[in-house]
Structure 1
């Protein structure tokens, strides 16, 4: 089985709540970062930046299983779960490095929209094919995990 796209981040102090764990709303921020990097890894950086490809979040479901804390490095695996004619659903599995198991799982439904009217539009064939293929084995490391391990 191939490795999914993985995004790494390090939990910052300001992302934690009074219980000293990542505040629940931050997971939406983390998903936004991971999905952007996933789309970039698929090769659509300029299309996303220019508005040629624009999407809106229409549904997000998050299940928490265990906490992440200040200083933890979180790995977020991203994969395409479903494709519709105008929508795509991405799955996000959160893991804390050094711990067993998934700490959270998120499913997010996005709808592709026209950047001017915000009306729904069909997924272009090349974008659909890239979402189906995924970004297997690609990594975006904002935590410096690979830089530290390479030394």
Structure 2
């Protein structure tokens, strides 16, 4: 049996994100990771404010991106997100970026966050509720900001 698709987020490459070589500028992938993870976090926990209201927050401690193929202006990219390692005070999310339409792998990334308590600016253990939501993920969920769903109709 095929496992369900992981959480997916689609977006369109904008002109200003491309460089003189007419491909997405490498530094933009950090933005793409951040935008996709924000949609994932919103899906898992609701509005980000829900974490902050519980005196919880996350801070990036590591981001690694590996490029596989170029993306160009107006391409629709699909970020697929799964939880990686969930430790005592940190967790890693694994992202894969595919070009929508031909399913070509464009890049993959691992981002590690540390759980903090903003009131004390100190790291804390990942709460069990948060751990459970991260472990469950959001399989089958698709959020699109690209407009491609309208074009399919």
TM over 0.5: yes
What is the aligned counterpart of 2:120 among 109, 117, 121? 117
Q: Deviations over 1:91-124 (max 9, x none)?
A: 0000111224311000011001111332101111
Equivalent residues of 2:55, 2:119 under 8 A apart = no
What is the aligned counterpart of 1:86 among 81, 89, 92? 89
CA change 1:40–1:31 in 2 (3 A) is same
Q: Matched residue pairs, number? A: 150
Q: Deviations over 1:4-25 (max 9, x none)?
A: 0000000000001111111111
In the other structure, the counterpart of 2:20 is 18
Tell me, in whole angstroms, the C-alpha distance in 2 between the residues paired with 1:65 and 1:36.
23
Tell me, in whole angstroms, the C-alpha distance in 2 between the residues paired with 1:121 and 1:49.
14
User: Unpaired runs of 5+ in structure 1?
Assistant: none
In the other structure, the counterpart of 2:50 is 47
Equivalent residues of 1:88, 1:111 under 8 A apart = yes
Structure 1 residues 1-151: aligned runs within 5 Å: 1-45=3-47, 46-48=49-51, 50=53, 52-149=55-152, 151=153
| Cα-Cα RMSD | 1.4
Task: Compare 75-84 and 95-104 and name the one that shifted more.
Answer: 95-104
Equivalent residues of 2:45, 2:51 under 8 A apart = no
Normalising by structure 1, what TM-score?
A: 0.93
Normalising by structure 2, what TM-score?
A: 0.92
Tell me, in whole angstroms, the C-alpha distance in 2 between the residues paired with 1:51 and 1:32.
22
Task: Compare 95-104 and 34-43 and name the one that shifted more.
Answer: 95-104
User: Unpaired runs of 5+ in structure 2?
Assistant: none
Partner of 1:146, secondary structure, is helix
Partner of 1:103, secondary structure, is strand
Task: Compare 136-145 and 126-135 and name the one that shifted more.
Answer: 136-145
